[in-house]
Structure 1
Amino acid sequence: MIEELYNLHKAELERFARSIAGNEKTAEDLLQETFLRAMTHWATLQRLADHSRRAWLFKVMRNLHLDLLRRDRHVVGLPEGHEPGSEVDYVSGLAAEELLQSLPAPLRELVRKRFLYGMNSRQIADSLGVPHATVRTRLHTAMRLLRKQVDQ
């Protein structure tokens, strides 16, 4: 039963979560999400030996953490004391739009879909009818061009 699995591995999974998460809240979220995944995959877990269940839990937690890191890699924080809706937002928006306009139209559209609409490369690829690897390559090219513009 999932409760037995939880009681058996909770302490060591909590320690692992704290060691990789960097803060208590994220560690708690990782632990909860790991056991939610265990509940949804219970049929698979029942067929595994005890040591394999333990390994599965740790691998799921690690993968969840990596997913968080990948997602947060693109999040840009606001400066300290920043008020949303201020003139800085307007100027930043104009600067961002100006940077986007420096890209060729196809790359500009990819960047908008990825960062403004939150689509992943597979969703973008499906909407354009191209391989998702092509989308990732083009996004990489677009980001390199934008960095070059910013550096100038």
Structure 2
Amino acid sequence: MLEPDDETILRDFVPLIRCMMDRKDIPQRKLAALTGISKTRLGLLLHSDPTKRSPMTVDELQIILHALGTDIVAAYVRIKASGTIPQPLIERHDVLFTMICDAFVDMPEGLIVLLEELEGIDGSEVRPEWAVPVRRAVVRKLLDEVSAKLARRARLAESDDFRI
């Protein structure tokens, strides 16, 4: 029998789906009603024993994730993060995953439009190794914005004009 490697683990959406069902208090019967997938089929797809699971189609995965309030991109990011971030932190910062996914899913379109407007630069100029500096810049900008918001709140709390 094959041992699961990192790629296999990353492709296994079932633990995430089961966790989301528990967190949102959605039992299998309710998920069946929300998705239109029979309870029997869901039982085969979401079996706790991976060796007893039926293969899930991409359409089924998307329907299940949609019923749980997420999509395949956000689910993949959560699975990837779960390898290094403890589950309680992932749950605590759930909105962060949604925000990052929403921001980055549309980013290629915006960058392509920008590159087309710049004369002399095309897609061949872009390098995969730019991902790390771009990620650092986004994290730094987000940190700066959050810090500024916290500073404004602190100033308001200390001011004499602040009344509840």
Q: TM-score, normalised by structure 1?
A: 0.30
More helix by share: 1
Q: TM-score, normalised by structure 2?
A: 0.29
